[in-house]
Amino acid sequence: MKVAVVGLGAVGGLIAARMADAGHEVSALARGETLARVRERGLVVDSAGRRTATRFAASDDASTLGTQALVVIALKAPALATVAPQLAPLLDDATIVLPAMNGVPWWFMPATRPDEPPLASVDPGGRLLAFLPLERVLGCVVHLASSCPEPGVVRHGFGERLIVGEPAGGASARVDAVCAALASAGFEAEASTDLRRELWYKLWGNMTMNPVSALTGAESNPILDDPLVHAFMMRTMAEAAAIGARIGCPIAQSGEERMGLARKLGSFRTSMLQDTLAGRPIELDALVTAVHEIGKRVAVETPNIDALLGLTRLMAQQRGLYPGSAA
């Protein structure tokens, strides 16, 4: 399969290297030091005690890469608005766009409620939907841990699972084709007929632990160990579960059960904590602001989500990590 990966960070780099090693025709859109390093020595992956370097075409200009069968978007959410207009040279009528990103994507509400406007928190004015229309998109939920200790280097921690599905649900030949390509690269690729529900389930866990860790500077275990913080997270998750029930994404687990799974992973730094410590913009809108906005639309009261959003937003604004205005 002819594949372009947009963004060679922790997830995009792993996908690009694995798919190139599996024999797919891979290219990548990258920039700055990452692009320079990949051109010089290939994309370096540390995984299971092995260090390998994989070479593939990389550019900061999409027009040099040509049209693709599959475009994997593996950016941090704040970067997508800037990059999306640059992706047109990669797309033709048959190109599949697969965002492998955190949080609520631009297609989430239009997929099942086409008469509603896009979420202002993740797609103000519907600009992303115009550049990356729903008919091109497949949803993807990433369940793996990977990091990017330096430009052009990816360290794979644990997990191989990538869940792929049609935004509006159901089965399709293109979902099967993408899953087969990902499976050939060693991923546990799973086709879902209810991708929105899978996405909301992951978000339900991430939307509390991530911002709490960014606020406190704490890894996961100290957060879980503090009884007051733990109780606050349970109330926040209950509100998000109530929203999910209103939008067709019910949660079967309890918050305690979900945090028990997090405990089994051992103490770790969330992606938002890593971004905060590195001085990078945080994915607050995709993880929390969007949930706050959806709650308003479906008339679910969210006092704990609101508090979490307000505190995290203020912290990030003070550090220059969140330039947006108040919701």
Catalytic residues: 202
Sign of dihedral through CA atoms 139, 145, 148, 152?
negative
| Distance separating alpha carbons of residues 180 and 186, to the nearest angstrom | 10
What are the φ and ψ backbone dihedral angles of 27, each rounded to 5 degrees? -135, 170
What 8-state DSSP symbol labels residue 95?
Answer: -
In the block, which residue shows the tokens 């608005």?
81
- Determine the Cα–Cα distance for residues 54 and 186; give it in Å rounded to an integer: 15
- Taking Cα atoms as reference points, which of 159, 209, 4 lies closest to residue 87? 4
Look-up of token digits 């606050």: 232
Contacts of 72 by beta carbon, 8 Å cutoff, 6+ apart: 3, 4, 5, 6, 12, 15, 16, 98, 99, 100
Spatial neighbors of 268 by CB under 8 A, at least 6 apart, are 145, 219, 220
C-alpha distances (whole Å) from 24 to each of 28, 87, 238, 313 are 12, 20, 43, 41
